[in-house]
Amino acid sequence: GVKLLLHGLCSNTTVKSLDLKGNNLRTVGAEALGKLLKQNKSIRSLILEWNNLGVWEEGFSFFCQGLGANNILQRLDLRNNQINHQGAGELAMALKQNASLQELDLRWNNIGLLGGRALLNCLHSNKTLKKLELAGNNVPSDILKAVEQAMDHNQDRQTILNETQNRTYILTKEVLSLKDEKTKQFLDLMDTIDKQKEEIARSGRISAARVSQLQEALDEQKSIMNSLKAKLQMTEAALALSEQKAHNLKEQLNVVKQEQASMAEHHSKELQQQKQESANREEKLLRDLSAASEKNLLLRNQVDELERKCKVQQDQLFQVKQDLTNTTAELKLRAVQAEERLEMEKKRFKQSLEDMESLRVKEVDHMTQHIETSERSMQDRIQRLEAIRIALEEELSQVKAAALAERGQAEEEFMKVRNQARLEEQQRLEHFEEKLRMMTEARDEAQNCCLKQKQMVAEAQAKANQLSLQADGLRRRLEELQQDLNSKEEEKVTEVNKVKVELQEQIGHLQAERTAQDGLREKIAALERQLKALSSNHREALLDKEGEISMLLEKLRMREADISRMREEEAQRASFLQNAIMTYVQGSLLGTHSSRK
């Protein structure tokens, strides 16, 4: 039944105390106990009093093997089990291997001198046993005192180890609590840093979006100004073409003047020969001159009309220039207003981001609409000016064609007149001088007309120069606007740099906290070092005590060598006393069994 009970307890994990006192366990029971001690991991107290385990040597050896393999049992009671010196030696071997047993009761056994020495020797390697009872075992008092000293030493060592363990446990708790607090603080700081980073990223995105919108608006304005520049360049090219045409007209007039001079020289030579023939044809020539004068009047009227048209065009160009100046002034005022609004938005940006976004979007839409309307109006005006310029060019081409036609007609008439003059030179010499006078007067008038045309061309060039100066002024204004934009971009860059500096300061605070954590870690390491130093000091003290114990043991051995002779003599007396005690114990056991039955 005990075997089955012990086999059942091998796998049990709830029983912590087992009392088998007075059950007369034999080899089977001892082997079962050894197996139990090997396999069970919960029993901490085992009472085996009055079981005669020492009688069965094989079973007790199995029991000792199980005890050596066990690391759970803390209290073992082996009183009155007839354990001799051999069993004590096996117990000593088991105690050398065991590292959990704290109390061992071996009273009223037959351990003797050899068993006591074996147990004392095992105490040099076993440092966990605190209490060892050896009364009633014929163990000398010196050995008992040495055992007591060893027990005291183990108790001191155990108390020191417990204190160090408690201190280490407390310090580890404190260190873990500090680590938890620091980790919480670090996580909180990281969360705040992440939140700040997210806010900075959001603000950066919002500012980038706004900057992109402003840049788009500025790009649109730049494109508008570029289109205006292109149109101005077109007008300058048209003016250059008109100047070239005027220059061509001047060259043609010079050619006509040269031809007239050559013809006058030729006529002066021919007039001397044909004075007689020109007299009869003066009347015809006077008629022709009157017709030519009428044609000249008509041409002068046409020239006046052209001058009026040019003045009207100049007025229109002046109005266009005024409109351009007004639009540029409006654009400047709007740019200034936009800058002021941007500054107000920057001030309000700290208070409410969403309101500023809506206001900026509305203002940008309003600006874009206004710019689109201004662009449309400017495009309409430019189209009108181009239409006027095309009409003027058509009129100039028509005037040129009329002038060429009249020139051709005049040349044909001049050829006819010259042929007629050659035939009638002799008759009209007297009248031809008067005609020459009239022709010189007409030439002077023609020269005056040419001078007037030159003045008109000079005025047109001056106007073109004024237009170029105005274009330069517009370019300068565009450059000023670009500089203002660059200054605004620099201000934004400075703001971003300020944010970066704040982030760096926060990172510096975090680094300071990390350094503080490193200091705490160093303090923890110093405490661990102190603990190690204390443990090393305790170990040194233990080693000193062990050295003292070894010295005492050597002294004891010397004394034992001196007393061995006395003990050999007393051994015989002890054997007689043991036999008597055995008989007395057996009689007492029989009496107890009979009483129980």
φ and ψ at residue 25, rounded to 5 degrees = -70, 140
Strands 131-133 and 17-19: unpaired
pLDDT per residue as tens digits for the range 17-31 = 999 988 888 888 898
Does 188 have pLDDT greater than 50? yes
Residue listed under structure tokens 């058509």: 394
218 and 361, same domain (yes or no): yes
- The answer to whether residue 344 scores a pLDDT higher than 90 is no
What count of other Cβ atoms lies within 10 Å of the Cβ of residue 510? 15
Residues 133 and 195 in one domain: no
Report how far residue 125's alpha carbon sits from residue 93's, in angstroms, rounded to the nearest whole number: 10
Distances (CA, A) of 131 to 20, 30, 76, 539, 543: 21, 23, 10, 22, 21
What average pLDDT does the segment 401-429 reach? 71
Which tokens in the block code for residue 455?
């003045």
Greater model confidence, 150 or 182: 150
d(CA 349, CA 357): 9
Phi-psi region of 109 (alpha: psi -120 to 50; beta: other; left: phi over 0): beta
Domain contains 156: no
Q: Tell me if 72 is assigned to some domain.
A: yes
Identify the three-state secondary structure at position 192.
helix
- HEC string of 306-351 equals HHHHHHHHHHHHHHHHHHHHHHHHHHHHHHHHHHHHHHHHHHHHCC
Looking at 139, 159, 175, the residue that finishes a domain is 139
Same domain membership, residue 296 and residue 230: yes
The radius of gyration of the chain's CA atoms, rounded to the nearest angstrom, is 66
Residue 292 covered by a domain? yes
Asked whether residue 323 falls in the same domain as residue 425, the answer is yes
Question: What CATH number is given to the structural domain containing 29?
Answer: 3.80.10.10
Residue 53: which domain range?
2-139
**545 band by pLDDT with thresholds 50, 70 and 90:** confident
Q: What is the mean pLDDT of residues 391-399?
A: 72
Shared domain for 436 and 346, answered yes or no, is yes
User: Two tokens at 456?
Assistant: 């008109």
DSSP per-residue codes, 434-466:
HHHHHHHHHHHHHHHHHHHHHHHHHHHHHHHHH
The residue assigned the tokens 């540029």 is: 328
Q: Which residues, in sequence order, are bridge partners of residue 277?
A: 426
> At 339, is the pLDDT very low, low, confident or very high (cuts 50, 70, 90)?
low
Q: Please, which residues have CB within 8 angstroms of residue 362's CB and are 6 or more apart in sequence?
A: none
Q: What is the pLDDT of residues 201-238, one digit of tens each?
A: 787 788 778 777 877 877 887 787 787 777 778 877 77
Q: Do residues 202 and 133 share a domain? A: no
* Highest mean pLDDT of the ranges 117-121, 245-249, 284-288, 508-512: 117-121
CA 257, CA 450: separation in Å to the nearest integer?
11
pLDDT on residue 276: 74
Same domain, yes or no: 95 and 231 = no
Specify the pLDDT at position 594. 52
- 280 with 371, same domain: the answer is yes
Confidence band for 453, pLDDT divided at 50, 70 and 90: low
The answer on 216 and 110 residing in a single domain is no
Name the domain boundary from 493, 518, 543: 518
Asked if residue 294 belongs to a domain, the reply is yes
The pLDDT value given to residue 425: 65
Distance of CA 173 to the CA centre of its chain: 37
Backbone angles phi, psi at 527, to 5 degrees: -60, -40
pLDDT at residue 335, rounded to an integer? 63
Structure confidence at residue 67 (pLDDT): 93
Name 549's Cβ contacts closer than 8 Å, sequence gap at least 6: 146, 149, 150, 153
Asked if the structure places residue 104 within a domain, the reply is: yes
- Report pLDDT digits (tens) over 246-287: 677 778 767 877 876 777 677 667 777 766 776 677 677 677
Q: Of 518, 539, 562, which marks where a domain is finished?
A: 518
Examine the domain organization and report whether 220 and 365 are in the same domain: yes
Give the 3-state secondary structure of residue 103. Answer: strand
Tell whether 409 and 514 lie within a shared domain.
Answer: yes
Whether the pLDDT of residue 380 is over 50: the answer is yes
How far apart, in whole angstroms, are the C-alpha atoms of residue 432 and residue 277?
10
Tokens of 376: 């449309």
In this structure, the number of other CB atoms found within 10 A of the CB of residue 591 comes to: 10
Do 198 and 123 share a structural domain?
no
> Residue 463 and residue 246: Cα distance in Å, rounded?
15
Total count of domains within the chain: 2
| pLDDT score of 175 more than 90 | no
- The residue behind tokens 């034992």 is 560
Q: How many CB atoms lie within 10 A of CB 232?
A: 18
What average pLDDT does the structure give for the chain?
78
Burial class (CB in 10 A: 0-12, 13-18, 19+), 405: exposed
| Model pTM above 0.85 | no
Least confident of 7-11, 106-110, 407-411: 407-411
Phi, psi of 45 (to 5 degrees): -135, 125
Other beta carbons within 10 Å of 415: 10
Q: What are phi and psi of 427, to 5 degrees?
A: -80, -25
Could you give the CA distance from residue 253 to residue 84 in angstroms, rounded to a whole number?
158
**Long-range pairs for 201-204: beta carbons < 8 A, 24 or more residues apart:** 203/353, 203/499, 204/496
> What is the C-alpha separation between 441 and 291, in angstroms, rounded?
16
Q: Look at residue 255 and tell me if it is in a domain.
A: yes
Position 168 in a domain: no
